[in-house]
Amino acid sequence: MQTFQGKVAAITGAGSGIGRELAIQLAAQGCHLSLADLDETNVSATAALARDTNPAVRVTVSTLDVADREAVFAWAERTANEYGKINLIFNNAGVALSGTAEATTIDKFTWLMNINFWGVVHGTQAFLPYLRASGNGHVVNTSSLFGLLAAPGSSTYNAAKFAVRGYTESLRQELDLMRCGVSATCVLPGGIKTAIARNARTDASIAALGIDPATRTDKFSKNLVTSASRAAGIILAAVRQNKRRVLVGKDAVLLDKIQRVFPSAYAGVIRLMMRRTYGI
């Protein structure tokens, strides 16, 4: 996809962070937008920002939970009816949860998987028929640096993000074989300055790792170094270049290299980072 001008993009999690910046930058490039988020106020605010950026683009808003398969399919159908075509789906909505693998309850695990993994599958399956019909479509699925390497206290998040990466890499190979006019990119952000840490759920069980649940968010937030605006710019450039995957931020580029050279011993580097972040 050489240009976003005149295209139609759907974005989940558009009420904040990376999703909001994707919306603003796509609007600036002449792309019409169908925005969705669980938070009605925030997604409406994003729509206003996108319209201010470029009054020539059309922007619609939906309040929905990506974990709700039927709601995501209904949104895709509504978007296609409203715009006549859909070129891009950004399966960006996500949440974070910290806790030990041993103590995280199945309810909390399911909550996160339903959003971070199944939400991506719902968005991909709901939108693919419309992307095919457009003749020029792209699926953009957000995994994470934590889809490439693991860290203590992140087992649920790691499980979901590794799954998104596997799913999206397979999808891309299938789309290449099918030559159906649709492609896919897997997004692997490092630490991006957004509301993700503030919105994260912290399980008291991380105390067993020596991390104080009360101060975890503030300490973890210091690792969020890349701006959401820069992240969105990197992601959109990768989509235009039809990349299979895109590392977002210098931290992601460096840690990906370390993980590949030391696929097992990278845990020592994570250990040092934990010491620097939490003093453990």
Catalytic sites, residue numbers: 157
When asked if residue 92 is in the footprint of ligand NAD (CB under 6 A), the reply is yes
Question: For residue 149, what are its two tokens?
Answer: 């390497």
When asked if residue 259 is in the footprint of ligand NAD (CB under 6 A), the reply is no
Give the angle subtended at the CA of 220 by the CAs of 46 and 146, to the nearest 5°: 80
DSSP letter (8 states) at residue 156: H
When asked if residue 153 is in the footprint of ligand NAD (CB under 6 A), the reply is no
When asked if residue 183 is in the footprint of ligand NAD (CB under 6 A), the reply is no
Q: Which residues, 6+ apart, have CB-to-CB distance to 181 below 8 Å? A: 131, 132, 134, 135, 136, 137
Question: For residue 208, what are its two tokens?
Answer: 């067993």
CA distances (Å), origin 166, targets 58, 150, 170, 252: 34, 15, 6, 18
Which of these ranges, 52-60, 92-100, 125-133, 203-211, lies near ligand NAD under the rule CB under 6 A? 92-100
Q: Which of 10, 61, 76, 224 is the binder for ligand NAD (CB under 6 A)? A: 224
Q: How many CB atoms lie within 10 A of CB 258?
A: 15
DSSP letter (8 states) at residue 136: S
Task: Please state the closest distance from residue 93 (CB atom) to ligand NAD, in A.
Answer: 4
Which of these ranges, 27-35, 54-62, 93-101, 210-218, lies near ligand NAD under the rule CB under 6 A? 93-101
When asked if residue 123 is in the footprint of ligand NAD (CB under 6 A), the reply is no
Site of interaction with ligand NAD (CB under 6 A) = 12-13, 15-19, 37-39, 42, 65-67, 92-95, 115, 142, 144, 189, 191-192, 194-196, 199, 224
